[in-house]
Amino acid sequence: MEKLIEAMKQGKVFLIGEFRGAKTDVIRYVDKKTGQASAFTATNYLVERPGALEVAMISQQVGDGTVDPTTIKVTAQKGKVYAFELSGMERVRGVFKARMPQGAEPLPI
Amino acid sequence: MNKSKAAFLFSAQRLGTQGLYMWTFTFAEVLSIRDTRKRWNHLLTLLRRRWPGLCGLRVFELHDRHGLHVHLVTNRFIDVNEARKLSKIAGWGRIHVMRVAVEKAAYLAKYLSKDREPCLKGWRLWAGFGEWDWSRVKDIIFETPRSVIYQACKAFYCWKGNSDFRSRMELVEKIFRRVIEEG
Band (pLDDT 50/70/90 cuts) for residue A40 is confident
Chain B nearest CA to A70, separation (Å): 13
Name the residue ranges covered by the structural domains of chain B.
Answer: 3-138, 145-182
3-class state of residue B5 by DSSP: helix
Q: What is the pLDDT of residues B119-162, one digit of tens each?
A: 777 778 888 888 888 888 898 988 889 999 999 999 999 998 88
What is the spatial distance between Cα A57 and Cα A13, in angstroms, rounded to a whole number? 16
Which pLDDT score, from 0 to 100, does residue A91 have? 84
What does the H/E/C string look like for B24-93? EECCCCCCCHHHHHHHHHHHHHHHHHHCCCCCEEEEEEEECCCEEEEEEEECCCCCHHHHHHHHHHCCCC
- The complex scores an ipTM of 0.84
Right CATH for B3-138 from 3.30.70.1910, 3.40.50.1980, 3.30.565.10, 3.40.1350.10: 3.30.70.1910
Chain B nearest CA to A9, separation (Å): 25
User: Strand B56-63 to strand B95-100: parallel, antiparallel, or no bridges (unpaired)?
Assistant: unpaired
Chain A nearest CA to B136, separation (Å): 8
Q: What is the pLDDT of residues B87-129, one digit of tens each?
A: 888 888 888 888 888 777 777 777 776 667 777 777 788 888 8
* Chain A residue closest in CA terms to B182: A21
Band (pLDDT 50/70/90 cuts) for residue B14 is confident
Which pLDDT score, from 0 to 100, does residue A92 have? 79
Which domains occur in chain A, in start order? 2-108 (2.40.50)
Size of interface A-B (CB pairs under 8 A): 69
- Under 8 Å CB-to-CB from B114, ≥6 apart: which residues? B61, B62
Query: Best interface-test mutation with A: which of B140, B166, B174 has the largest number of A CBs within 10 A?
Result: B140
Which pLDDT score, from 0 to 100, does residue B18 have? 64
Q: What is the pTM of this model?
A: 0.75
